[in-house]
Chain A
Amino acid sequence: MTTTRLKLNLGPQHPSTHGVLRLLLELEGEKIISCEPDIGYLHRGMEKMAEKMTYIQYLPLVDRIDYLAGFFYSELLCRIVEQALCIELPDKVRAIRVMLLEMNRISSHLLWIGAFLMDLGAVSPFFYAFREREMILRYFEKLTGQRMMYNYFVFGGVRKDIDYLEDVEYIVSYLPQKLDEYEKIITENPIFLRRTEGKGILEPDTAYSFAITGANLRASGIDDDYRKSDYLYKGFDFKPIVLDNKDSWARYKARVLEIRESLNIISQALDYLKKADKLEQRLINPINLKLPQGDYSAEIEAPRGLACCFVRSDGQEKPYRLKWRTGSYYSVNLLRELLKGEYLNDAIAIAGSLDIILPEVDK
């Protein structure tokens, strides 16, 4: 009897590739021999576009790099400009930004929890997670006028003063009990445990070598959270979530705990904002905005790993070169290593646990 290996084309229009990821799998039975990710189906030329636009023209676009965590990328671009022009942010702007960033992180993680459980075949958590995410998006819509592409942070501050704080207060008081519910139906579910515990082990060395950052790295037992050294988070009391299990379960648990930690940060920001005076900020006139010649780079702890922005300015209105680093891009390349030898059934779960989002990969 002769056996041949089967080449399977997973994607780009597959229900569980979360967008348009294409995985070329080589299978022996259901065992994966090799996996070759093929990306670029969602490439929008973000870096090329930047060279043709002024900074303020480009600012609304960067929300679209990761449409689930838009605040993070516009924060990065603002940070570059503020860094170049040596602008110190007022405390209130910092608090507003931190609060919105963390809320965005929660909404992104909630969507991930739903999608991950959907990959595992559970229907309901998807809807539950979306119900909670909806509350956050409603708030964003009230505040910024947009549900996903906020365009709320501007160079030097925010577009308008924060408002509707009672909504945030409600979210902060409401989410923890919902999280307890999730833990009841997901974390204590024996089938879920069987499918995630010990699956997709990511050793710290491998994680370093593949430049994995964010919650995936912290679930492998490495205490590395850029928020700790971020000037925006100065004065906020929180501790990074580090788990030692290294498996899919740890990556799930890390995100759930991270939501709780984010809620903690939000409530600190909320306490400050409730007492704070009217917003006083010095916005930069974006017309004819020119950055001084030189290289600028900024980093931020985005929901899917470390995001960096590098700008080289030649003193003109448009950046000479702008480069994004996104966390998901490196996670996709990790699939090559992580899926080897796994069964198709588990492979979907492992790929899902890395929280890959394709617009971020393709930029």
Chain B
Amino acid sequence: MNYLYFLYVEFLSKYNIPKLFGDITFYVIPFCIIAAALLVVVLILVLAERKLLGYFTQRKGPNRVGLWGILQTLADAFKLLCKENITPQKADRILFNIAPILAFVPMFAALGIIPYSSEFTFVNTKTNVILYLILAAFPVLSIFIAGWGSNNKYSLFGAMRSIAQVLSYELPITFVILSVVTLASSMNLTEITLAQFSTGGVLGWFVFPCILGFVIMFISILAELNRCPFDLPEAESELICGYNTEYSGMRFAIFYLSEYAMMFANAMFISVLFLGGYLSPFGKYFFDSSFLIYFEQAFWLFLKAGILIFIMIWIRATLPRLASFDLLKFSWAFLLPLSIVNLFISVFYKLLMEGGLWH
């Protein structure tokens, strides 16, 4: 239980509300906060992607709705909300309807376990990393259900490709995370963040001992997110839209939303693992008051995630799509061995740092 919890229970006890109520709601309220914050973040992300892609391709991007096109995503979301929700006649109705929910829920949960600042982690367990791994791999289930349930051959191909892709890229991710866990000697994300603290700021980050792991992780996350150049499951020129070809209206919007939210969550996750999470890159914070420091910490985390997302969009504007066989080969024959090498490097580094090699 952390500082926020006590603050909350204290607040409740002022109004004579039993502690049990506080225990229960303490885990519910954060998710409401996330839900609200997430919508804003996704709106910004979608706009950012469209704007940036526009600038990369010598266009202006959306610039009609609101100042600088700020309200464009809102307008699009509203449009999707108004559209008819079509369920194909021969689709499996239950699976078809359950898929968007399954895409959305784990993404929410994943956002709950990320340490936004030193006291602001909604769910803080000892093995956060494992929990995150499970939640990050969950959307593939929803993709498969969507592809299978919509009874469309293109969707099915998209789902097939997605499963093959996630299965093969999950392993390098696991090995890389293992090496980070070794370096930090902990599976808790907050402790991993704190293990990267040094007065030198940037120098303590795990990106330096395992730069290799960082690159592998970034590439594999791109694959897990089905983003270019690994966007085979939703390859527009081949499979029209992949697994969500048959989806329309709000269900499509939910897929869209969870895709961007997952991108944000994964970017933050990489920042936590390698870029010091909420730690300041200068080794000290600008604000002194303990309250403002929380915001500064969150700002650093968001900034790091933002930079990673910018790189993702940049890659999308630059690279063509991989061929399906290269995609799998790249993971099994290249990334997996490298990630194991990375694990050894970090183990040696850890032993070296603690002087364990001479014992």
Q: Which residues of A contact B (CB under 8 A)?
A: 6, 8, 14-16, 30, 117-124, 126-128, 131, 185, 189, 191-192, 194-195, 343-346, 348
Contacts and interface: CB of A to CB of B under 8 A. Distances in A.
A249 to B, nearest CB: 13
Interface string B231-268: 11001111010000000000000000000000000000
A123 B237 contact: no
Contacts of B326: 191, 194
Interface stretch (B53-61, B166-174, B213-221, B289-297): B53-61
A155 B232 CA distance: 51
Given A127-B57, A345-B232, A348-B237, A117 B325 contact: no
Contacts of A189: 319-320
Contacts of A131: 58
B19 interface: no
A30 B160 CA distance: 10
Contacts of B318: 122, 124, 185
Contacts of A120: 237, 320-321
Contact of B238 (A16, A128, A194): A16
Nearest to B54: A127
A117 B238 contact: no
B323 interface: yes
Contacts of B240: 14-15
Main secondary structure on A side of the interface with B: helix
Contacts of A195: 320-323
B324 interface: yes
B130 interface: no
B157 interface: yes
B112 interface: no
| Chain A to chain B: the 5 pairs with minimum beta-carbon distance, closest first | A121-B321, A127-B57, A122-B320, A16-B237, A120-B320
B153 A123 contact: no
B320 A345 contact: no
A121 B325 contact: no
B140 interface: no
Nearest to B156: A6
B316 interface: yes
Nearest to B321: A121
Given A121-B231, A127-B58, A15 B236 contact: yes
Contacts of A124: 56-57, 317-318
Contacts of A194: 322-323, 326
A3 to B, nearest CB: 14
29 contacts: A14-B240, A15-B237, A16-B237, A16-B238, A30-B157, A118-B237, A120-B237, A121-B319, A121-B320, A123-B53, A123-B316, A123-B317, A124-B56, A124-B57, A127-B58, A128-B58, A185-B318, A191-B229, A191-B320, A191-B322, A192-B320, A194-B323, A195-B322, A195-B323, A343-B325, A344-B157, A345-B235, A345-B238, A346-B323
A121 B326 CA distance: 15
A126 B57 CA distance: 8
B321 A343 contact: no
